[in-house]
Amino acid sequence: MNSVVRYQISTYAIMLIAFVYILPVYSDTSYSNPYLDLGIFAFEENDFVSAISHLKRAMLKQPHNPVVYHYLAKTYQKMKRYKEARFYYEQAYNIDPNLDDLLYDRGFFNYLTQKYEAALNDFIQAVKQTPDNLLANYYAGVCAFKTNQYQVALQYFLTCSKQHSNAKENIQYYTAVCYYNIGKPAQAQILFNEIVLHAQSKSLRKNAKDWLKIFKSNPSMFRPYHLYAYIEMTYDDNVKLVPPGETVNDKDDLVIKTFIDGNYNFIQSPILIMGIGYEHFQCNHVDFSDYNIISSIGSFFIKHYKNNTQHSLYIKPVHSWLNNKDYISAQGLEYDIEWKKNRHLKLCANFEYFVTNNFDNNDYDGQILNIDIGMERTIPDNENLTFNSGISIVNENTKGRDQEFQLGQIGCGLRYKNKHLKWDFGGNHYVKNYLHQDTAFQKRRTDRHSKLWTGVLLYRDPVEPYFLIEHQVNGSNIDQYDYKKTAISFGLQYFY
């Protein structure tokens, strides 16, 4: 063998030893594997076919080495062989979920393949591992944004905005849209103005200008106060007194209802809203003026937003007049919680506790506890359709033993909504068990009540018309309380 050949062989041998033992790889030396090193080197050189060959050999040598599976996943991802990439990401995660960079890489893979919910979960965990990871924060915000979790997205974008980033313009734009969607248009307007003045991207400047046009045409969104009102005309074929809803007279009547609801937010931030509100309800009968009722409801409320959850607390004093005479007063607390898992699923719960005082009949004085739990599920293949369902439990304790009851209710419905209209169809059924024997009929009363309704609301500016049909059937073990009723309503509603 001549000296030139010996020199070349020696040179290659030295290079191979240096490559295998000196090339820096993962910090965990327990995962050291020559074939893994060769696979990583080939991956970095974009020689993916060789990388796969070396990594498969490394897998045979160390079948429980998560780094091997991690790089196999990254290599298949580069080759756009996403099925294999997903498989190997899962293998690596099952072996060591805390492996360096694994959660970020798997999150980016899920983002790349438009699995935004899965990507968001990965990026959230990646941020927990390394809070100063700018890209993990950024993509967590983007994925939350794409799943309509704007409050979650905002927190990540605000974290990114504190660091210097080449994506500053994109972050500003996403942050502005998030502010708009959580009811903070003033902050959104400031950021959109900055984008118009300073952004290098023409498309971002154009989009920001379009948003500013929307703000200019809708000045009401900047007001800390809001107003909702409706007027409704109802034909009711079996009028009953509301509340408490015990008396039906087997007569029909035309009823005119008006409702006004206003509120003022004196504290309004991305995570906290605090304000006061007032509701006024009036129900006037054409023939049965003795049933005319007016209700006045005040409220002090606090709303707190954290991640994808909203907590709301209300303090409510209530006063009602029947035929212009004091009828019922109540003081109550209401707590609402709403959790949006994603843009397709929302869960909510409501808890109410009221202490009531009936001026005409002390038997109705007492306490009412009401618990509601509900779900809204948007159909993924048709986001215009939403299925909703819920259950309710009511417990009323009163001075009059005849009036104490427990009620259990279940209901469901379907909603179709587009930019022109909203159509609802639904029903509910409840069983109402009175806790004591009725003194007049000498038996405990049980009511079984069913209700069906359908309604259409048309989106028009500024007044929106709606049409509603309701049918109710109440069956009781005391025939005196059996009844049926149908109501047909037409109304107009207005938002300010």
Q: CA distances (Å), 85 to each of 15, 71, 222, in order?
A: 31, 9, 48
Q: Please report how many Cα atoms fall inside a 13 Å half-sphere around the Cα of residue 85, on the Cβ side.
A: 19
What domains, with CATH codes, occur in the chain?
3-219 (1.25.40.10), 226-495 (2.40.160.40)
Beta pairing, strands 225-236 & 483-495:
antiparallel
For the chain, 496 residues long, the average pLDDT of each consecutive 10-residue run is: 48 46 41 82 92 91 91 94 93 92 93 92 92 90 89 89 77 90 83 89 89 78 83 94 68 95 84 91 92 94 86 96 92 94 88 93 91 94 92 93 91 94 96 90 92 95 94 92 94 92
Which residue is listed with tokens 């005479």? 325
Q: Give dist(CA 68, CA 122) in Å, integer.
A: 20
**For the chain, the helix, strand and coil percentages under 3-state DSSP, each to the nearest 5:** 35, 40, 20
Q: Give dist(CA 485, CA 471) in Å, integer.
A: 6
Amino acid 318: pLDDT: 96
What are the backbone dihedrals phi and psi of residue 150, each rounded to the nearest 5 degrees, phi first? -70, -35
pTM over 0.75: no
